[in-house]
Amino acid sequence: MGANDPPEKWVLKGVIEFVMTNFALAFLSAGFGAGLAVLGAGIGIGRLAAAAMDGTARQPAATGDIRTTMIIAAALIEGATLFAIVVCIILAVK
């Protein structure tokens, strides 16, 4: 462990040594990116469903229109999430 070692070499407690390669960092970043995409979609769909239920409770006559709008918006959110996950996977195996 001298001054000529590459910067991505790490030492834990002086005994365990591992190298974080670009390949490993790509998979780690893809995992974080996919996790954040799914987390954002879950929060978005949850807020969407809460607003739809609130709207239905306030105006029961508009239940059909609210449900249709909610399903379309949820599909758009899921489509964007799927796109984000595919981009993460492509960047990981590039």
Q: For residue 17, is it within any domain?
A: no
Give tens-digit pLDDT for 15-71.
Answer: 455 667 778 888 889 999 999 999 999 999 999 999 999 999 999 999 999 999 999
pTM: 0.72
16 domain-assigned: no
Contacts of 34 (CB under 8 A, 6+ apart): 84, 85, 88, 89
Specify the number of domains making up the chain. Answer: 1
Q: Which domain holds residue 37?
A: 30-93
Predicted local distance difference test score (pLDDT) of residue 94: 78
CB 66 within 8 A of CB 55: yes
Could you tell me where the beta strands, DSSP code E, fall in the chain? Answer: 9-12, 16-19
Query: Is 1 part of a structural domain of the chain?
Result: no
CATH of the domain at 80: 1.20.20.10
Is residue 14 a part of any domain in this protein? Answer: no
Helix, strand, coil shares of the chain, percent, nearest 5, are 75, 10, 15
